[in-house]
Amino acid sequence: METLQDGPLGGLVSAPSLREQARQVIRGMIITGQMQPDQLYSVPRLAADLRVSATPVREALLDLEREGLLEAVRNRGFRVVSLSLHELNDIFAIRLLLEVPSVGDIAQDGLSTERLHELHQLAEVTLQTAEAGDLIAFLDADLKFHVQLIATLGNPCLAKLVETLRDRVRLHGFASGSPREFLTRSAKEHFKLLDYISRRDRSGAEATIRQHLERSRGVWGDNIAHGANAGTLNDSS
């Protein structure tokens, strides 16, 4: 069976299908800046780079287009969707509206000991990958933490929307030079958030997630405003 084992980023052979493997690898290439908004990417070129047939690559690109990470250019290929400062602020405004009250509801209702343990394990992985400077692993662990936290509300549409919005923000600022200080500080805030949730402190949980989001908006916004390319994320906040 054809795999992506020898492709960029080491491949993701544990994924359930070639289409999903290709989606994850291409998503990683977008997030790390290996794919840039000012370039066109054809299906044959990407298929050759990934050492896989064109069909799963085409399907993966269409999936990423639906997620808002790529846009199709008729008869030419795909390109990474750029993100303006105005769009970034709009996305964070939506995230604040969604995630702050959602986290408040989670804290108010409480979580089982088992669920809290699972989230603590994800928080540990996020911190470990941040301290190691493993960008892709950090971003995946961070996304999984937040999506699984929101998923405890039992609303899969909300969890998917949060996932999509978070991916949209990551289109700028990261590449090989990951800012460990920012990543580590962000990862440590997960434990503070879980502490408030475990104590069913709604106001504390809401204040923590709000601060978490606003700090992230400041970092991403500074880099877009200063025209930073991927890999030069300012760690000034």
In which domain, by residue range, is 190 found?
85-225
- The last residue of one of the domains, among 62, 80, 98, is 80
pTM for the model stands at 0.75
Q: Which residue has the tokens 């978070």?
A: 166
Q: Does residue 95 sit in the same domain as residue 211?
A: yes
Q: What are phi and psi of 226, to 5 degrees?
A: -95, 5
CA distance linking residue 20 with residue 13, whole number of Å: 10
Which SS3 state, helix, strand or coil, does residue 96 take? helix
User: Is residue 29 in a domain?
Assistant: yes
The CATH number that applies at residue 63 is 1.10.10.10
Q: Does residue 72 sit in the same domain as residue 90?
A: no
Q: For residue 4, give Cα distances in angstroms to 63, 65, 175.
A: 18, 21, 21
Per-residue pLDDT of the chain (237 residues; tens, 9 = 90+): 354 544 444 444 444 689 999 998 998 888 777 888 878 999 999 999 999 999 999 999 999 998 888 999 998 999 998 888 898 899 999 999 999 999 999 999 999 999 999 999 999 999 999 999 887 788 889 999 999 999 999 999 999 999 989 878 876 555 444 577 888 999 999 999 999 999 999 999 999 999 999 988 887 777 676 654 444 344 433
- Number of domains into which the chain is organized: 2
